[in-house]
């Protein structure tokens, strides 16, 4: 086990924000924590980062308790909703600051990794939102983290940029062999990016599993199924509702090179589905909704 | 907790010696008291009026002189007060205003207005343009009564308080521009101190401390009461 | 009405500048050689620089630290108490400190002594709340995300302050510094009450030479006032120019 969150509790005044959270994150995995606003997911991330304290429980990473160390000694870096690049520094200086030896060479390397090597001397305000987020990622990576925390880093981006960056970050994290914890309210984002997902509801873990397991068992995951005679082979799902008229499949996008892909249908509908299913472009399919089961 | 107590003690220690001595109500001159109160009321009113309107104008103007004028009104903050006073002494002497209330009022306005404008601008910046933009859509009277007054009552109170404190701090200004003809509690205190009249100095110090406190409470009650009445009219 | 108010405000704001012109005209007849070699003025200048330097520096450091702690720890009561000295007029503050240090009070430092300790303490007590309030607004509006980001980037505590706090304090610190210097360096009331007969602070010496019959014809106080204003003005100008690019950069790039 890599990261082990044990019976974590946190209370704000009379409100129990985290109520005995338990889950494990495997080494080199991208693990998503999914929950609605107020479910406690951001608090959980902040406790792991060392930005907040907990009332009880422990966070163990590679057999040492992270809680024994202040935030700046945990080697846990974070990518948040806003890039928060230090405005008095240039892009390159922002990244250099995070490197252990304050090395320009290393900073250039990380900017190269995020494909912004030509923006070393640019000022922060000259970058677009997506570029700023990429610099923020380079900066987080330059600090040589053992654990990367992603706190809804795609929230403020437009849909196209969001998809690009999701893909980019997943590939990068996998290439570098990092362990990452992603916090999001977006279930599709979790299914597409994460190897494993933990569902959080009102401060409690309701389910942990792979994206496929959640697709089949968790409420709200894989809302739509495409059925054309054959039910999805791996599915133990009960279909309850037919949605609209049959539609033609326009495009298959296996953006993340894993078990789920994005399917674009006529009329603009996009559906996240198992990549293993043999849907064919040009064929017409009927969209159905699966039965909600509570885990 | 210990740190907090220490800080509070350090801040309050100077009052300690004052509380040890029982004040006697000693006022040598009723004129000094009347002058102080009169100047405070008029100066605070003028400061609130001018600073709030100027800050409001500054917030919305699209004039190309905006930045220059902003600098101009804040610049006096960086000019030593006594230097301004010496220059004003020369100007007012030319205009025959030395030793007059008008001369003293003008000088006091010059030294207090930059602070007031700064406070007014900060107050407006805290509330922000988007909210105030909404207020601009309302008719003039309703905008002032139901939105701007309740929103800025605290800022106006602070401006009045600051003006009072700066006024009460002025000995050199009132003495020089007033040519010694316009006594205030401050000039009395200085003279009683210089003349070694401990009891008078003590009672004047009490007065200098109590006047801002009284003004603070008076303005707080007034603004709360007015806001409550205004809210009542909306029910 | 708004326009006439604005015009009136501009006229009032022009008066200090006009007064500098009058100062300049009056100072024309000054024997500059005599002024610069006058030991009384020179000693006054040194003691003024010493008092201004220490009291301004300590007020800035203490005021900023207090604002930081009060915001971080959410000390509401302490925050209210810290404002109190601001509402005590300077002359009353001087008298409070005189009471405190003259015979009957604490008594470990004389009220009027050559090192100007009581003057410095009074200024610190009076000006720290001013700096505190200036910095409080900045700290309350400061995006805590920057500090948190600095922490997660594994920066040391000093670097966290240097990169995630200090850049945002530059503007209010600069404003406070020059307002304090302009105010403390050429004032009368506090050093007149708590100072000594020799050396006097510049403001006290200038005012006394101007208002005492003995020096009534002298143009020196005007010349000193003008020179001092020019020095402060140059300091303001140079410091604002030197920091203009970084301040602009911060203003454009900051995320609230």
C106 lies in some domain: yes
**Tokens at residue B147, please?**
């939105």
Mutate which: A84, A137, A156, vs C, most C CBs within 10 A: A84
Long-range contacts of C14-17 (CB under 8 A, 24+ apart): C14/B72, C15/B84, C15/B88, C15/B91, C15/B106, C15/B110, C16/B75, C16/B76, C16/B79, C16/B84, C16/B87, C16/B88, C16/B110, C17/B72, C17/B75
Domain check: are A140 and A204 in the same one?
yes
Tell me the pLDDT band of A101, cut-offs 50, 70 and 90. Answer: confident
Nearest CA in chain B to C89: B169
One DSSP character per residue, A237-287 reads PPEEEEEEEEEEEEEEE-TTSSSEEEEEEGGG-EEEEETTS---TT-EEEE
**Tokens at residue B58, please?**
């500054």
C182 lies in some domain: yes
* pLDDT over threshold 90, residue B192: no
CB contact under 8 A, A72 and C145: no
* pLDDT over threshold 70, residue B123: yes
Q: Does C183 touch chain B (CB under 8 A)?
A: yes
Domain check: are A168 and A270 in the same one?
no
Domain check: are A107 and A234 in the same one?
no
C146, C155, C254 member nearest A72 (Cβ): C155
Nearest CA in chain C to B10: C125
* pLDDT over threshold 50, residue A229: no
Tell me the pLDDT band of A223, cut-offs 50, 70 and 90. Answer: low
Read off the pLDDT of each residue in C142-171 and give the average, rounded to a whole number: 93
Q: Could you give the dihedral angle defined by the CA atoms of residues C36, C38, C41 and C46, in that order, rounded to the nearest 10 degrees?
A: 80
Domain CATH for A164: 3.40.50.300
A295 lies in some domain: no
Task: Please provide the CATH number assigned to the domain covering B29-234.
Answer: 1.10.3720.10
Domain check: are A198 and A240 in the same one?
no
CB contact under 8 A, B84 and C226: no
Q: Does A160 touch chain C (CB under 8 A)?
A: no
Last residue of a domain, one of A215, A245, A269: A215
Pick A236 or A230 by higher pLDDT: A236
Strands (E) in chain B, as ranges, are: none
- State residue A232's pLDDT score: 46
- State residue A69's pLDDT score: 92
* pLDDT over threshold 90, residue B194: no
* Domain, as residue range, for A248: 223-290
Last residue of a domain, one of A184, A215, A246: A215
Pick C244 or B232 by higher pLDDT: C244
* pLDDT over threshold 90, residue B15: no
Read off the pLDDT of each residue in A25-48 and give the average, rounded to a whole number: 91
* pLDDT over threshold 80, residue C155: yes
Question: Is the omega angle on the peptide bond into residue B232 within 30 degrees of 0, that is, cis?
Answer: no
CB contact under 8 A, B82 and C207: yes
* Domain, as residue range, for C99: 38-253
Domain CATH for C115: 1.10.3720.10
For A217-238, give the secondary structure using H, E and C: HCCCCCCEEEEECECCCCCCCC
User: Helices B2-20 & B198-234, crossing angle to 10 degrees?
Assistant: 120
CB contact under 8 A, A87 and C152: no
CB contact under 8 A, C77 and B114: no
The Cα–Cα gap between A78 and A236 comes to 37
Residues sharing a CB contact under 8 Å with residue C17, sequence separation 6 or more, in sequence order = B72, B75
CB contact under 8 A, C154 and A72: yes
């Amino acid at each position: 086990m890599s990261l082990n969150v044990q019976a974590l509790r946190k209370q704000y005044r009379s409100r129990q924000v985290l109520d005995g959270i338990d889950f494990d994150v495997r080494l080199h995995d991208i693990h998503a924590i999914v929950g609605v606003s107020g479910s406690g997911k951001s608090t959980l991330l902040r406790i792991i980062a060392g930005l907040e304290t907990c009332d009880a429980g422990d966070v163990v990473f590679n057999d040492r308790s992270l809680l024994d160390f202040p935030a700046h000694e945990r080697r846990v870096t974070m990518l948040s909703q806003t890039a928060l690049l230090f405005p008095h520094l240039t892009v390159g200086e922002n990244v250099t600051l995070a490197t252990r030896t304050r090395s320009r060479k290393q900073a250039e390397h990380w900017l190269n990794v995020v494909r912004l090597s030509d923006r070393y001397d640019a000022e922060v305000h000259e970058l677009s939102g997506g570029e700023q987020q990429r610099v923020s990622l380079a900066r987080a990576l330059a600090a040589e983290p053992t654990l990367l925390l992603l706190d809804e880093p795609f929230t403020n981006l437009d849909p196209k940029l969001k998809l690009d960056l999701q893909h980019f970050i997943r590939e990068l994290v996998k290439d570098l062999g990092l362990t990452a914890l992603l916090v999001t309210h977006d279930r599709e984002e979790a299914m597409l990016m994460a190897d494993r997902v933990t569902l959080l509801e009102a401060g409690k873990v309701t389910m942990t599993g792979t994206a496929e397991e959640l697709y089949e068992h968790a409420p709200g995951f894989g809302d739509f199924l495409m059925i054309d005679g054959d039910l999805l082979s791996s599915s133990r799902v009960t279909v309850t509702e037919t949605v609209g008229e049959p539609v033609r499949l326009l495009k298959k996008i296996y953006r993340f090179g894993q078990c789920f892909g994005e399917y674009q249908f006529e009329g603009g509908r996009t559906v996240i589905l198992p990549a293993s299913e043999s849907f064919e472009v040009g064929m017409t399919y009927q969209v159905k909704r699966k039965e909600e089961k509570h885990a | 907790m210990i740190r907090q107590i220490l800080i509070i003690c350090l801040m309050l220690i100077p009052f300690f010696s004052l509380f040890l001595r029982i004040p006697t109500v000693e006022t040598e001159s009723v004129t000094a008291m009347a002058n102080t109160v009169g100047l405070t009321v008029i100066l605070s009113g003028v400061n609130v009026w001018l600073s709030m309107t100027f800050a409001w104008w500054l917030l919305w103007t699209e004039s190309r002189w905006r930045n220059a004028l902003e600098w101009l009104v804040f610049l006096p903050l960086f000019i030593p007060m006594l230097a301004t006073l010496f220059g004003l002494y020369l100007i007012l002497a030319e205009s025959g205003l030395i030793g007059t209330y008008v001369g003293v009022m003008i000088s006091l306005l010059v030294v207090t207005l930059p602070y007031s404008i700064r406070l007014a601008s900060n107050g407006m910046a805290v509330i922000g343009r988007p909210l105030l933009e909404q207020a601009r859509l309302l008719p003039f009277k309703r905008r002032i009564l139901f939105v701007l007054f309740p929103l800025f009552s605290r800022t106006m109170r602070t401006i009045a308080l600051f003006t009072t404190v700066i006024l009460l701090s002025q000995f050199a200004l009132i003495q020089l521009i007033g040519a010694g003809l316009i006594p205030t509690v401050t000039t009395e205190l200085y003279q009683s101190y210089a003349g070694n009249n401990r009891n008078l100095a003590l009672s004047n110090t009490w007065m200098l401390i109590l006047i801002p406190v009284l003004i603070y409470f008076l303005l707080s009650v007034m603004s709360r009461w007015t806001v409550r009445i205004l809210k009542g009219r909306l029910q | 009405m708004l326009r006439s108010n604005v015009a009136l405000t501009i006229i009032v704001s022009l008066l200090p500048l006009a007064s500098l012109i009058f100062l300049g005209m009056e100072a024309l007849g000054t024997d500059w050689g005599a002024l610069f070699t006058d030991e009384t003025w020179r000693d006054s200048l040194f003691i003024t620089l010493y008092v201004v330097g220490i009291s301004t520096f300590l007020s800035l450091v203490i005021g900023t630290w207090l604002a930081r702690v009060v915001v971080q720890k959410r000390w509401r009561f302490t925050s209210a108490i810290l404002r109190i000295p601001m509402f005590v007029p300077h002359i009353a503050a001087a008298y409070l400190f005189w009471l405190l240090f003259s015979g009957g009070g604490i008594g470990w430092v004389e009220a009027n002594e050559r090192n100007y300790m009581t003057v410095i303490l009074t200024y610190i007590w009076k000006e720290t709340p001013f700096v505190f309030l200036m910095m409080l607004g900045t700290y309350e509006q400061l995006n805590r995300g920057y500090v948190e980001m600095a922490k997660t980037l594994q920066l040391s505590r000093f670097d966290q302050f240097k990169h995630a706090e200090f850049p945002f304090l530059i503007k209010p610190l600069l404003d406070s510094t020059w307002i304090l210097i302009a105010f403390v360096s050429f004032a009368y009331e506090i050093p007149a009450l708590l100072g000594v007969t020799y050396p006097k602070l510049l403001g006290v010496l200038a005012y006394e030479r101007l208002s005492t019959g003995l020096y009534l014809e002298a143009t020196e106080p005007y010349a000193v006032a003008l020179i001092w204003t020019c020095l402060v003005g140059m300091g303001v100008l140079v410091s604002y120019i030197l920091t203009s690019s970084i301040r602009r950069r911060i203003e454009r790039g900051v995320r609230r």
